[in-house]
Amino acid sequence: MATTTMHHHATGLTARRNSTTRALAWLRVVVGSLLVALLIIGLMALAGRALPPHPEWAEPSPGVAIELADRR
């Protein structure tokens, strides 16, 4: 009878928890998130510059001090 041998290959799932690969993956996620946030902020700033500063029909309301009710 013929015998078969199985070869096991290590994958990324067998890495130790404190490995450099896992740290780099977290760093990659953090840097990517920051870049996406900066991209969104930049696009919103560009859209804000493209719009007029204030519509002609709207009048800004004067600033009024708001007094809190004293409930004694």
CA distance 23 to 19: 7
Are 21 and 27 a contacting pair, CB within 8 Å? no
Ordered alpha helix ranges (H), 1-72: 20-50
What stretches in the chain show pLDDT beneath 50? none
Among 46, 26, 48, 28, smallest CA distance to 36 is for 28
So what's the pLDDT on residue 35? 98
Note the pTM of the prediction, 2 decimals: 0.48
Rounded to 5 degrees, φ, ψ at 54 are -155, 135
Structure tokens at 23: 């740290």
